[in-house]
Structure 1
Amino acid sequence: MITSLKNEKVKNWRKLHNRKDRMKTETFIIEGFHLIQEAIKSNWKIKEIIIQNDIDLPSWINDEDILVTVVEEHVFQHISQTKAPQGIAAVLQIQANSMISGNRVLLLDRIQDPGNLGTIIRTADAAGFDAVVLGEGTVDLYNDKVIRSTQGSLFHIPVVQDNLSVCINHLKDKGYSIWASALTNSKNFHSVKPTEKVALILGNEGSGIDPGLIDLSDEIVKIPIYGKAESLNVSIAAGILMYYIMG
């Protein structure tokens, strides 16, 4: 059992709170029974389970190849990023996704808020989209708040990181219709009929989609505002448009 905050393992776990160290080690850390169970069910590679000494190891962690390390409560509190930790965490191998398949793809341009990104990924999973592509400038997928906001959907749907201009041209070559969500020169979304293959672009919370990406789109759509609000939260807009596209 690890009892010291100066232990090298503890130091390395703490480093995984930083993107640089996640990229360097190609690992990330998750917390809580639900997220760990979803990762196991989805066959993600778990390198280590970290469990507080007064917490029982759940029966569904039955892989003898998974290293389990027990720590004292103050050690777990030191590595935790949640306000009310459940006393269990896991170090996972980053799973590189590069292939996009299926007929419904979501493209995200510079989404900055971790809660928004996590919620959008969760909604894409719920709506039945086939993949999510994160463009440059989007918040790190393995940020703790992003992971928690996905509620496990991170492990269910392929999430690819790519240059969106290159990706859009690739998708167009494969017969996808590219939809951009924007206010200028746009049509109400329900006036546009989804084709067999659709890729939907959503943009930055403040500045929207990069104009160069809008120029590459086939359809520019908007969600009508009937009240006095100036705009919708990007994760809400994502949900409305994805469910419409799915029919």
Structure 2
Amino acid sequence: MRTEQEKVEYLKNFVTDEKNALFSRLIRERTEYVTLVLEDLYQSHNQSAVMRTADCMGVQSVHIIENRNKYDVTSTVSQGAREWLTLHRYRGEKNNTPAALRQLRQQGYRIIATTPHSRDTLIDDLDLKKGKMAFFFGTELTGLSEDVIREADEFVKVPMYGFTESLNVSVCAALIMYSVMQRLRESDLDWHLSPEEEVKVAFQWYKHAVKASGEILERFEQQKS
């Protein structure tokens, strides 16, 4: 069985030098230090907007909790972004939020709720040095569930100075990602992908970029045997 690194090196032969250089540059800007969690979002265009912003900001993973509202995998609106992201879907149970919380904690993430709370912190004041961050965004109708509110380690908000009391969820996610990623890039924290994570992400990208990558990799395996 070929390793993923071997497969990546082989697939590089099937794209242009410019594409190889682009992948090499962009992968150094990706992070798993920050991840986004969309809990039961109703509007597919909000999901798509968050994914596009995550890609633009270099946030590699997006977690999608599907309780009442299902993620539309056929949507063409988010297709341009989601192919470059690592999506984690939680579904199958009536309440999939606890499973998402458990998995993220096992991966060492702080649970950060983006909702007004008595203990909330302005996003620009959030301590980035305390470890990896999973930002939870709730449904447009009722916000985050009690499960998330109860389990959250921290609460953050975006400062607002107008009469409107809340931001659209995709706008809120964009402002938070921009603040956090800009500060991380200016810090001395190690927020980049690990070498192992780089290989996994690169393999995903090349499989998407190379037409008939499945057949090409199958022939590559046969060469070894």
Structure index of larger Rg: 1
Match of 1:25 in 2: none
- Of 59, 62, 85, 1:157 maps to 85
Match of 2:115 in 1: 182
Percent identity between matched residues is 28
| Residue 58 of structure 2 corresponds to residue 124 of structure 1 | no
Cα displacement string for residues 190-239 of structure 1 (whole angstroms, at most 9, x for unaligned residues): 22122341111000112110011121111111112101112111000000
Residues paired across the two proteins, number: 146
Cα displacement string for residues 41-72 of structure 1 (whole angstroms, at most 9, x for unaligned residues): xx9xxxxxxxxxxxxxxxx9xxxxxxxxxxxx
Runs of 5+ in structure 2 lacking a partner? 1-10, 16-30, 91-95, 184-225
- How high is the TM-score relative to the length of structure 1? 0.55
Q: Secondary structure at the match of 1:152?
A: helix
Deviation at 1:151, TM superposition (A): 5.6
Matched residues in 1 for 2:33 and 2:125: separation?
A: 20
Contact 1:187–1:220 (8 Å) recurs in 2 = yes
Higher helix share: 2
- How high is the TM-score relative to the length of structure 2? 0.60
Runs of 5+ in structure 1 lacking a partner? 1-42, 44-59, 61-100
Match of 1:110 in 2: 40
Cα displacement string for residues 177-202 of structure 1 (whole angstroms, at most 9, x for unaligned residues): 11110012222222212234111100
Q: Which moved more, 1:131-140 or 1:236-245?
A: 131-140
Matched residues in 1 for 2:74 and 2:165: separation?
A: 29
Match of 2:104 in 1: 171
Q: CA RMSD in A?
A: 2.1
Matched residues in 1 for 2:158 and 2:33: separation?
A: 22
Contact 1:108–1:133 (8 Å) recurs in 2 = yes
Deviation at 1:143, TM superposition (A): 4.0
- Of 192, 207, 211, 2:126 maps to 192
CA distance 1:105–1:164, shift in 2 (3 Å) = farther
Deviation at 1:242, TM superposition (A): 1.4
Match of 2:137 in 1: 202
Higher relative contact order (CA 8 A, sep 6+): 2
List structure 1 segments (4+ residues) > 3 angstroms apart after TM superposition: none
Cα displacement string for residues 7-60 of structure 1 (whole angstroms, at most 9, x for unaligned residues): xxxxxxxxxxxxxxxxxxxxxxxxxxxxxxxxxxxx9xxxxxxxxxxxxxxxx9
After the TM superposition, which residues 61-72 of structure 1 pair with which residues of structure 2 at under 5 Å, given as runs? Answer: none
